[in-house]
Amino acid sequence: MMNARYSTSADCNLKQTNMTLDWYQYFQIIALILAIIYFRGLKRFRLSPFIPILLIVNIVESIGTNYKNLGWSDNYSVYNLYLLFSTPLYLYLYATMLELKGKALIIHSAVSIGCMVFIILNLFFLQGTGVFNTYSMALISILYIVFSCLVLFRMTLGSNLTVNLYRQPYFWINSTNLFFSMTTLVFLGLQHYILTNNIKLGDKTLYYAIMPSANAVYYSGLSYAFILCNQNRS
């Protein structure tokens, strides 16, 4: 979202001759490896869709980081496709973590369908394929923030003194995704201001200085959640 989600690679002026990985991508790779190793634990917690999500993440980030080696002028299209293919998987996971039924499930399904329709329309008719689809990313981030808060709120209401939230996979998935989505949304809102005023942290644009760390936090949270899935597996 994105880690993945929205890569920082497009903001870098890199002169590459060989395929390379940015430092935060190692956290994404580790998360994928752990998801595969602990597949049974993920399956028990109904989190197995994270495996295709992380496969998509790693493929997209590898292409996005090395787009110049492929002869591309930008990497926007690959990240737009990431939004298109990863979002329904995430929305399905939220429905699972919230254990939605009846009217709640119908509402979630309607919201999810509406979100996907907007992403498709934005990709082909509004912002288009030639730029990163910030409208879609903003909508997705807002939905992830809302759903993550709902999952955390539900866990808090359902907890008791014998339950340690810090030992629950859902807690780490949603707390770190909440952090990542809020960070992404803030920087999307400030993007024009940052670019116009050329705000930097050291020799990097502010976006490229902050978002890789947000990626590392999110995928570290996923990795720990996957470990907990295995430890809590009966």
In a domain? residue 5 = no
In a domain? residue 8 = no
Sign of CA dihedral 197, 131, 181, 140: positive
The pTM assigned to this predicted structure is 0.87
In a domain? residue 223 = yes
Tell me how many domains the chain contains.
1
In a domain? residue 9 = no
Q: Which alpha helices (H) appear in 129-202, and where do they start and end?
A: 134-158, 169-197
Q: From its phi and psi, is residue 56 left (phi > 0), alpha (psi between -120 and 50) or beta?
A: alpha
In a domain? residue 116 = yes
In a domain? residue 179 = yes
The CA distances from residue 58 to 1, 21, 32, 51, 104, in Å, are 11, 10, 8, 11, 33
* pLDDT at 204 (0 to 100): 65
In a domain? residue 14 = no
Range of the domain at 160: 23-62+74-231
Q: From its phi and psi, is residue 174 left (phi > 0), alpha (psi between -120 and 50) or beta?
A: alpha
> Do the Cβ atoms of 231 and 223 come closer than 8 Å?
no
In a domain? residue 7 = no
The pLDDT tens digits along the chain (234 residues) read 543 334 444 444 444 457 788 899 999 999 999 999 999 999 999 999 999 999 999 999 999 889 888 888 888 899 999 999 999 999 999 999 999 999 999 999 999 999 999 999 999 999 998 888 999 999 999 999 999 999 999 998 865 544 688 889 999 999 999 999 999 998 877 766 666 666 666 666 667 778 899 999 999 999 999 999 998 754
